[in-house]
A and B are shown apart, each in its own frame.
Chain A
């Protein structure tokens, strides 16, 4: 007999974890929404963010959250480069070219991380990420709460950016009708570069909070790519709110299966659920 009370803890953990998953998925969703590209390198770019924070921490003694001042510009630049110099050409070649190139980028980043930081498992451990907070009689890791707060902040910021600024509106316009956007005087090639770069800002932030929550290795990228993809197909593409919901659903799946079947099986469950959702609703659960 499981006491209902014992479920409270995994449920709250799942919701908080869902924030992190939504944050990881945000960049993937944006790149898909604007460029119609599933960026197979997304997971590895997120992990690159984790490693940059790790380097800042070990070599410069910087706090992981502070290291965003380095991680954000670096990933912004990488994202812009990928779109401007690789993807924009790939789209003109064939349907499979962007995908194959993204795959190549994924392995380049993975291998680079391995060369720079060895295959060992790393983590961004700080005093506060190890501490916990209390909610009634329950206790939770503080890092989970930070994840959730970061996710909400980033999502609201992104939403306001897309709604209020010219650049944000241009990105939205280019994703809805590229030709018409060009006729409005929008340099769509440049806009795509910015969209990718902004998605990578989200990836950098996600990578840092991920690193404070889970240990990571150079090959962790694929795991988080699949999680991000799962979030996106549950939440529907292009919807920030849907992404948030998708993240929370996957977070709950993970903590609840971990609770009932042990932590060894929780990722397996996530993978199976992603496959099942793809089979039932190939275009996403909440998608149009």
Chain B
């Protein structure tokens, strides 16, 4: 009980309240449009959190996130063609994405820094070609002729997909919190600062980098699979596409790389942009690219960085926390 109370800072209370509102929103009759944007928010958030774990906290600038979400998506889609229910496909897909992460870890983990980035960039490109050629189970033609309709979704409610995505997003945030407060988080910080020194101190750098890579593959896979269940079909060109990487990167960088709250704020902005730019879809990558570069140059720590430097914000939070602490002691 004491433990619970001590955790009851104003921040946690607000977060708890927001999550509860988000949970009841579909049954409380939230407009379908909202649910849709929130669904995207949850999916992007889970992915952004995982990229932050890799690039921000582990020094792994991974450009192969589309591989994980695509593999999981394809697993769901192909699964439904051999009568595997979609929810089982999501879990199976995430596991396959995890196994795939372990497999590609062998080549790409021999690389560091910039080499790692470009090594991982190759992976989704190769997968796109592979899925154009490879069609193990029968399916209707979609997109580039290599796509799949996801079957058996007729009686799936929007709210079911929404809750699944919400669950994944919350899980991704909780996992981040757990990792950063664990010994793993410490080891990652050591590696990021100096891999060679960490290795000579007896840190198993391969293993310790593999954990975040694996976790990010599984969670990104889950989120991707849910996205494709929502979309109802999958095809290689748009799946193994750098546009996914761009969304994930942008959300993390706008909010603040290497900050826990960054991806949340960044994802809100990305979804909002998506909403605003819907009419200018043809220009969206251009605009996103400009924003990405501007943020990186002007405020490398993103919006969280700006807020941290604003005394006003700091003062308010200190005041609020003190009030709450006083209230508790009384």
Contact = CB atoms under 8 A, between A and B. Distances in A.
A94 B292 CA distance: 15
Nearest to A32: B114
A104 interface: yes
A104 B293 contact: yes
Contacts of B269: none
A123 to B, nearest CB: 20
A112 B288 CA distance: 12
A268 B130 contact: yes
Interface residue tally on A, bucketed by range = 35 or more
Contact of B119 (A93, A99, A275): A275
A176 interface: no
B63 to A, nearest CB: 8
Is chain B's interface secondary structure helix, strand, loop, or mixed overall? helix
A288 to B, nearest CB: 15
A278 B119 contact: yes
Given A105-B289, A226-B122, A115 B296 contact: no
B84 interface: no
A96 B286 contact: no
Interface string A54-96: 0000000000000000000000000000000010011001111
B242 A279 contact: no
B289 A94 contact: no
A29 interface: no
Interface residues of B, number: 45
Contacts of A274: 122
A161 interface: no
A103 interface: yes
A276 B107 contact: yes
A19 B173 CA distance: 49
A201 interface: no
Contacts of B300: 93-94, 97
A154 interface: no
A229 interface: yes
Interface of A is mostly: helix
A40 B257 CA distance: 20
A281 to B, nearest CB: 9
A40 B120 CA distance: 12
Contacts of A272: 126
Given A111-B286, A222-B125, A275-B122, A268 B133 contact: yes
Contact of B290 (A40, A106, A108, A229): A108
B249 interface: yes
Contacts of B36: none
A223 to B, nearest CB: 7
A104 B297 CA distance: 12
B123 interface: yes
Interface string B102-130: 00101110111111011101110110011
A91 B315 CA distance: 33
Contacts of B288: 104, 107
A268 B126 contact: yes
A96 B107 CA distance: 21
A99 B117 contact: yes
Given A86-B293, A104-B289, A264-B133, A96 B61 contact: yes
Contacts of B106: 279
A271 B297 contact: no
Contacts of B129: 265, 267-268, 271
A106 B113 CA distance: 19
B285 interface: yes
Contacts of B312: none
Nearest to A230: B122
Given A229-B122, A279-B106, 20 more contacts: A38-B117, A38-B118, A40-B121, A86-B293, A94-B300, A96-B257, A97-B296, A97-B297, A97-B300, A99-B61, A99-B114, A104-B290, A106-B289, A107-B286, A222-B242, A223-B125, A275-B126, A278-B107, A278-B115, A282-B110
3 smallest beta-carbon distances between A and B, as pairs: A279-B107, A108-B289, A111-B285
8 contacts: A86-B297, A107-B242, A108-B286, A225-B118, A229-B118, A229-B122, A275-B122, A275-B123
